[in-house]
């Protein structure tokens, strides 16, 4: 991925696109010199601060606090002065500027040739990485050399806390900006190296960042280190003559841990900081030193042991020192190897559209670096690429991201589900607060508690609980991980099933209803019998019952009795799905098709979207206008519950009413358009999803990437054109190839075997490239069961396309752009 212009009008978007992450640590793609910037960001997964929510009129069970992601101290800043003039792309003359995101190697490279206003020219090169192999480590190699004649340079490599974050007040979806959220606790400088420790005042977290350096510079270069509460600065200064260069390699180690005192007000210490004073001895060291008794990451304190500032500093110092000892080249080699292994399964090949091929790999790259197999964290909606949505985890993770990672990086999916399980206590407490049974997971969260202050589109979105259960069932079906199912998976299924069974209502005719919920379409709130929610709840209930029967001893320890399991099955069998017989379509929710139509003729396609920023929710809620795929998403998640004819009629009806004011919409629309035979429309929806951030289609990329839309690109390709379905615990395929493509090839993992699928205009080829002839996988092709072995590919003709009829209409101006 390459950008060859400074493009200062899109600097925030570029920072998101060029972000690097390893699922624990994320660096936004800010310029090395820090200016200009759209939003600085150096994130640790889960690092946040808590603040109050103010309501004009408070109500029972309204969340009283929210969490907002905050930046950890930033170790990526390397500022340059040429003479007395700072390198700034807004000044002087930019003779060359290029940034390259190497998707194979996981490296961000920068090459700039700049002539200062005073006429002095320099060439700056840098390469960054956030290590996949080393959880707490990021590094940057930076160098400067003169272009034509001698120059005087000053290089300041900063470790900086509490960077100023600009506030965006024109969009309610933008993040809350907290001023100086980190309170200094400890600092230490040792020659050219140093460490800072800070804590959050209310959320009870402590973060330590250490930096160590390798310097290659002329003998005339002077070195100085400055250490303050919020900044450690290494300064290198001196002349550079033609043929000379100054090179700096910085290794950073990041650690985070609880302080043990959340939500306790801080007191001012004698030196003006809050809480524990910033400790610093006269020689720049501290008693015990950050090395101390810490022997390395293997001996880090257990989760229930609170490390002191000095101990946490020691962990960060150790991580940085180990990276420096290994050396820059070793980090690069490890990074290339990690991505090479990941790409073996994750890569998707599109022959015929080079732009979307590159965009697809960009999407998958960011998914691969969004999570960790060995982590205890999940994946926020923006990953670690920005502070959009306050850094919250939403249903995007289980609804879109995990359905991809389950098949290309299943250990990441398992880790994300274990994070949900780790927060079952908070989910049970929230359910009790809402007078519900079981567990009610938060609509928006970082630390496990509900952070959404708008309950009609938050708390009422109970389908999140079934999305989590669905992700559990999909993961177990794909991996055969019975150990997970017998433990964390079973408990998640049981507690979410209890929610539905207690929440639902039995009508006089014996059907089971879920009243007063909000489905995926957030332009319809507090509705009865949302089809998506009902179908997902049914799967949740049946999945919990099956798991309880499979593991009776474990279920008994959770208090599950035979009568409860029978009740789950009875409710699942009686779930009501509203249907409009007059129009021949399923209703998104009970009564939806009888609501007034939206006045699309009176809606300006250029000025009135997204509707939520221009119309009151009262108007949106009472009309037939769909923010994002809802009934269509139900047909994707539960394809066996609809006939082919129902899918075609439903798709046409809801396509005409869906305005796609959410990046979550196009992937599902692409899959169903492909299934019913509208391949050109499906391709256009796929293009919109995969280009969501590269073309900043929603004007929100500057706040961070839309990981669900990026995951949706894989969903559109593999489930849409690959025709893959997985709702019955088995794999089935019914591929169809759009006219723009000559070949579609992808892999996925099924019970530990890599299944490779190649679709061409005439046939589809199924292979197990890594298996021997005795190994096989059973699957369905176009309704026929086949067995694929490692001995030879299994080749089948492409299924015949259904006759789709005329392409469905979309709301005026809301059809995805046609790919030329």
Threshold 0.85, pTM exceeds = yes
**What pLDDT is stored for residue 698 in this prediction?**
81
Considering only CA atoms, which of 158, 157, 174, 156 is closest in space to residue 12? 174
Q: How far apart, in whole angstroms, are the C-alpha atoms of residue 172 and residue 389? A: 9
Exactly one of 255, 522, 564, 655 is catalytic; name it. Answer: 522
Alpha helices in 277-353 (DSSP H): 309-326, 328-346
Average pLDDT, the chain: 93
Contact 198, 206 (CB under 8 A): yes
The percentage of the chain sitting over the pLDDT mark of 90, rounded to a whole number, equals 89
Q: Could you read off the pLDDT of 486-506 as tens digits, one per residue? A: 999 999 999 999 999 999 999
Range name among 257-266, 313-322, 396-405, 810-819 with the lowest pLDDT average: 257-266
Question: What tokens does 417 get?
Answer: 């589900």
Token pair 């960054």 in the structure block, residue = 128
pLDDT digits (tens, 9 = 90+) for 606-627: 999 999 999 999 999 999 999 9
Query: In this model, does residue 269 exceed pLDDT 60?
Result: no
- 223 pLDDT more than 90: yes
Given this model, what pLDDT does residue 271 score?
Answer: 33
Task: State yes or no: pLDDT of 294 exceeds 80.
Answer: no
Predicted confidence at residue 4, as pLDDT, reads 81
Q: What is the mean pLDDT of residues 267-282?
A: 36
Residue 300 has pLDDT above 50, yes or no: no
Could you tell me the two tokens for 612?
A: 């939520």
pLDDT at position 171 is 56
The three-class DSSP label of residue 672 is helix
Q: What is the DSSP letter of 693?
A: T
pLDDT single digits (tens) 635-687: 999 999 999 999 999 999 999 999 999 999 999 999 999 999 999 999 999 99
Contact 814, 605 (CB under 8 A): yes
Q: Specify the CATH number of the domain 409-577.
A: 1.50.10.10
Res 274: pLDDT? 33
For 114-170, how does the pLDDT look when each residue is reduced to its tens digit (9 = 90+)?
999 999 999 999 999 999 999 999 999 999 999 999 999 999 999 999 998 877 655
Residue range 517-532: mean pLDDT, rounded: 98
DSSP H helical ranges for 576-642: 617-621, 631-637
Task: Give dist(CA 665, CA 667) in Å, integer.
Answer: 6
Diameter over CA atoms, the chain: 90
Dihedral sign for Cα atoms in the order 581, 584, 586, 592: negative
pLDDT of amino acid 225: 96
Q: How far apart are CA 671 and CA 694, in angstroms?
A: 21
* pLDDT score of 283 more than 60: no
User: What pLDDT, on a 0 to 100 scale, did the predictor assign at position 119?
Assistant: 96
Return the CATH number of the domain spanning residue range 2-49+65-167+183-317. Answer: 2.70.98.40
Q: Is the confidence at residue 347, as pLDDT, over 70?
A: yes
Return d(Cα 153, Cα 236) in angstroms, integer: 8
Q: Which residue is listed with tokens 């509490």?
A: 162
3-state helix, strand, coil in the chain (%, to 5): 30, 25, 45
pLDDT of 278 higher than 80? no
**Are 638 and 788 in contact, with CB atoms under 8 Å apart?**
no
What would the pLDDT profile of 366-420 be if each residue is shown by its tens digit? 999 999 999 889 999 999 999 999 999 999 999 999 999 999 999 999 999 999 9
- H or E element, residue 758: strand 753-759
What is the reported pLDDT for 1? Answer: 84
Tokens of 100: 């390259």
pLDDT 10s digits, 787-796? 999 989 999 9
Structure tokens at 729: 């615990």
Q: What is the DSSP letter of 589?
A: S
Query: Could you tell me the pLDDT band of residue 177, with boundaries at 50, 70 and 90?
Result: confident
Range 65-76 average pLDDT: 96
Distance CA 625, CA 597 (A): 7
Q: How confident is the model at residue 172 (pLDDT cuts 50, 70, 90)?
A: low
Please tell me the distance from the alpha carbon of residue 384 to that of residue 77, in angstroms, as a whole number. 18
Predicted confidence band at 284 (pLDDT cuts at 50, 70, 90)?
Answer: very low
The backbone torsions φ and ψ at residue 539, rounded to the nearest 5 degrees and listed phi first, read -65, -40
Would you place residue 699 in the very low, low, confident or very high pLDDT band (cuts 50, 70, 90)?
A: confident
Convert 354-393 to b/e letters by CB count within 10 Å (16 or more is b): eebbbbbbbbbbbbbbbbbeebebbbbbbbbbbbbbbbbb
**Out of 69-78, 258-267, 399-408, least confident range:** 258-267
pLDDT recorded at residue 51: 95
3-state secondary structure of 585: strand
What residue segments make up the domains of the chain, in order of their start?
2-49+65-167+183-317, 409-577
80 with 155: CB under 8 angstroms? yes
Q: Percentage of the chain surpassing pLDDT 70? A: 94
- Model confidence pLDDT, tens digit, residues 575-596: 999 999 999 999 999 999 999 9
450 is annotated as an active-site residue = no
Give the tokens for residue 819: 């790919």
pLDDT-wise least confident of 172-181, 661-670, 735-744: 172-181
Contact 719, 671 (CB under 8 A): yes
8 A C-beta contact, residue 794 and residue 745: no
pLDDT at 57: 92
């Amino acid at each position: 991925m390459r950008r060859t212009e400074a493009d200062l009008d899109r600097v925030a978007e570029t920072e998101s696109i060029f972000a690097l992450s390893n699922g624990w640590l994320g660096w936004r793609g800010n310029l090395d010199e820090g200016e200009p910037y759209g939003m600085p960001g150096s994130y640790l997964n889960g690092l946040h601060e808590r603040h109050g929510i103010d309501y004009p009129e408070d109500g029972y069970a309204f969340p009283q606090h929210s969490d907002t992601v905050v930046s950890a101290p930033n170790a990526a800043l390397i500022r340059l002065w040429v003479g007395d003039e700072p390198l700034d792309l807004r000044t002087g003359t930019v003779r060359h500027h290029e940034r390259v995101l190497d998707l194979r190697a996981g490296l961000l490279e920068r090459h700039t040739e700049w002539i200062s206003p005073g006429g002095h020219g320099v060439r700056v090169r840098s390469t960054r990485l956030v290590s996949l192999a080393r959880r707490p480590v990021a590094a940057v190699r930076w160098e400067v050399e003169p272009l034509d004649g001698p120059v005087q340079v000053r290089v300041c490599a900063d470790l900086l806390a509490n960077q100023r974050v600009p506030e965006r007040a024109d969009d309610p979806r933008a993040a809350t900006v907290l001023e100086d959220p980190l309170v200094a606790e400890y600092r230490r400088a040792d020659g050219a190296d140093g460490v800072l420790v800070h804590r959050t005042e209310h959320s009870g977290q402590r973060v330590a960042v250490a930096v160590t350096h390798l310097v290659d510079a002329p003998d005339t270069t002077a070195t100085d280190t400055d250490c303050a509460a919020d900044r450690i600065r290494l300064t290198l200064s001196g002349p550079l003559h033609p043929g000379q260069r100054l090179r700096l390699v910085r290794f950073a180690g990041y650690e985070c841990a609880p302080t043990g005192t959340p939500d306790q007000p801080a007191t001012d210490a004698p030196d003006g900081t809050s809480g524990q004073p910033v400790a610093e001895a006269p020689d720049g060291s501290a008693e015990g030193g950050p090395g101390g008794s810490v022997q390395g990451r293997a001996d880090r304190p257990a989760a229930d042991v609170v490390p002191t500032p000095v101990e946490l500093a020691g962990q960060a110092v150790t991580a940085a020192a180990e990276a420096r000892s290994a050396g820059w080249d070793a980090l690069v080699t490890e990074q290339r190897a990690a991505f090479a292994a990941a790409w073996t399964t994750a890569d998707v090949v599109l022959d015929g559209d080079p732009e979307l091929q590159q965009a697809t790999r960009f999407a998958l790259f960011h998914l691969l670096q969004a999570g960790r197999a060995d982590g205890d964290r999940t994946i926020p909606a923006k990953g670690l690429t920005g502070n959009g949505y306050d850094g919250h985890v939403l249903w995007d993770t289980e609804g879109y991201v995990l359905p991809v990672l389950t098949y290309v990086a299943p250990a990441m999916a398992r880790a994300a589900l274990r994070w949900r399980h780790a927060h079952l206590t908070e989910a049970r407490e929230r359910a009790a607060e809402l007078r519900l049974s079981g567990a009610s997971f938060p609509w928006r969260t970082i630390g496990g508690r509900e952070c959404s202050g708008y309950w009609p589109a938050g708390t009422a979105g109970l389908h999140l609980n079934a999305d989590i259960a669905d992700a559990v069932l999909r993961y177990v079906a794909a991996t055969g991980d019975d150990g997970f199912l017998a433990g964390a998976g079973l408990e998640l299924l049981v507690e979410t099933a209890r929610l539905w069974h207690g929440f639902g209502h039995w009508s006089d005719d014996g059907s089971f209803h879920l009243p007063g919920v909000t489905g995926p379409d957030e332009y319809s709130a507090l509705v009865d019998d949302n089809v998506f929610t009902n179908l997902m709840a049914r799967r949740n209930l049946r999945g919990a019952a099956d798991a309880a029967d499979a593991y009776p001893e474990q279920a008994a320890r959770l208090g599950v009795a035979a009568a409860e399991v029978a009740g789950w099955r009875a409710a699942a069998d009686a779930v009501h799905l509203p249907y409009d017989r007059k129009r021949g379509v399923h209703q998104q929710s009970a009564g939806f098709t009888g609501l007034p139509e939206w006045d699309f003729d009176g809606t300006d396609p250029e000025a009135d979207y997204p509707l939520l920023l221009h119309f009151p929710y009262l108007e949106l809620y009472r009309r037939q206008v769909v923010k994002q795929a809802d009934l269509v998403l139900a047909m994707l998640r539960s394809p066996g519950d609809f006939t082919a004819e129902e899918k075609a009629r439903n798709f046409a009806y809801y396509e005409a009413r869906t305005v796609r004011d959410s990046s979550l919409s196009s992937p599902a629309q692409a899959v169903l358009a492909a299934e019913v035979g509208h391949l050109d429309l499906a391709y256009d929806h796929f293009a919109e999803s995969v280009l969501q951030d590269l073309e900043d289609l929603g004007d929100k990329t500057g706040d961070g990437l839309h990981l669900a839309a990026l995951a949706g690109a894989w969903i559109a390709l593999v489930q849409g054109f690959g025709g893959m379905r997985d709702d019955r615990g088995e794999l089935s395929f019914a591929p169809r190839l759009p006219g723009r493509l000559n070949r579609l090839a992808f892999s996925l993992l099924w019970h530990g075997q890599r299944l490779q699928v190649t679709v061409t205009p005439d046939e589809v080829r199924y292979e197990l490239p890594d298996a021997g002839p005795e190994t096989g996988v059973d699957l369905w092709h176009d309704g026929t069961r086949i067995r694929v072995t490692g001995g030879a590919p299994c080749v089948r003709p492409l299924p015949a396309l259904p006759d789709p009829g005329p392409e469905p209409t979309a709301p005026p101006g809301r059809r995805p752009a046609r790919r030329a």
